[in-house]
Amino acid sequence: MQTPYYLIDKSQLLKNMEKIAWLREASGAKSLLALKCFATWSVFDFMAQYMDGSTSSSLYEVRLGAEKFGGETHAYSVAYGDHEIDEVLTHSDKIIFNSIGQLHRFDAQSQGHTRGLRVNPGVSTSSFDLADPARRFSRLGEHDPDQIAAVADKISGLMFHNNCENDDFERFDEMLTLIEDRFGAIIGRMEWISLGGGIHFTGEGYPLERLAARLKSFAESHGIQVYLEPGEAAITGAATLEVTVLDTLHNGKDLAIVDASIEAHMLDLLIYREPAKISPDTGDHQWMICGKSCLAGDIFGEFRFDAPIKPGDRISFQDAAGYTMVKKNWFNGVKMPGIAIRELDGTLRKVREFDYADFSAALS
């Protein structure tokens, strides 16, 4: 199979799916896949056996969720345009408005639809200001309990999304308590509460039982249905980016250039200044693995290998499922990685190939 391509491994995906299904069984909390993290719909049929549906951040995502994932389809967006709202309602069974302004603006059109409001609790676990929903002056959700209470009879649910790759149950628990202290009276008037994504509960060693117990008591004490919106947690460890070495150079360090680019294919590494991961990353030879775009800092990272790297070698970058395929772009006209799936029985199936026609069609 010609590189570059993303390789989704269903047996890895299955491990996450089984934890999600277990959590639902044990806690009653439903899980909806956050499509902004992962929207590779070829595996939606598989994931839909373990999850309750999908949630979205735009008209196109909500439509994709309704058409390809099925189950419950939540609509959310930071802001909807007048021309979008009817189609959003058509494709969703719940709509969560980001602001009281949007709730009022689309009040008449959304009468009869299950409606919710995003609440910004003012606390989060993000260590990056760029990705911190509780940052100062945040536009993400309403924060004033009195103003929210004043529109509570128009809605039946609230959405809080303030976790970010949070693998610390204590911290999650602590923040949920803060939410209950501040918004408990309004939560008590609701039928459902979404706690958003960012809880890293499929990670190795996460205390799933404690999370289940906490979610269950949260639901029971307020008389609500709890939803989770896992993105990263649903697909963590489930894909690799498969590349081939094209050239090597030496400039103070051993450098290898591969047929992909972090700027175009694993953009979050660049944004959050993190290196890619390879496994095992051991051996006597250290090489800097670089992307083939002309951006000077297009570097996957420095890794260890058993032997010197040479053109034609294959490298596999780990953890390439989340916030990768949804963000890939045509910068430099670098060939966009195809998408392949490793089935549970080990067979490999290429589900998408991109070529010059796709590049050309992306602009006019």
Ligand X SMILES: *Cc1c(COP(=O)(O)O)cnc(C)c1O
Site of interaction with ligand X (CB under 6 A) = 34, 36-37, 76, 161, 164, 196-198, 229-233
Helix or strand or coil: residue 246?
strand
Minimum CB separation of residue 315 from ligand X in Å reads 25
Minimum CB separation of residue 27 from ligand X in Å reads 17
Q: Which two structure tokens, joined as six digits, stand for 325?
A: 């395929």
Read off the amino acid at residue 261. S
Nearer to ligand X, 239 or 289 (CB): 239
Cis peptide, bond prior to residue 275, ω within 30 of zero: no
Nearer to ligand X, 125 or 293 (CB): 125
The whole-angstrom separation of Cα 288 and Cα 335 is 21
The whole-angstrom separation of Cα 286 and Cα 301 is 10
Q: Which helix (H) or strand (E) holds 53?
A: strand 53-55
Nearer to ligand X, 164 or 290 (CB): 164
**Which residue's structure tokens are 């916030």?**
323
Count the neighbouring beta carbons within 10 Å of the beta carbon of residue 218. 22
Chain centre to alpha carbon of residue 222? 28
Nearer to ligand X, 3 or 236 (CB): 236
Nearer to ligand X, 163 or 261 (CB): 163
Minimum CB separation of residue 164 from ligand X in Å reads 6
The backbone torsions φ and ψ at residue 241, rounded to the nearest 5 degrees and listed phi first, read -105, 120
Nearer to ligand X, 163 or 240 (CB): 163
Minimum CB separation of residue 272 from ligand X in Å reads 12
Minimum CB separation of residue 3 from ligand X in Å reads 26
Minimum CB separation of residue 232 from ligand X in Å reads 4
Q: What is the DSSP string of 213-234?
A: HHHHHHHHHHT-EEEE--SHHH
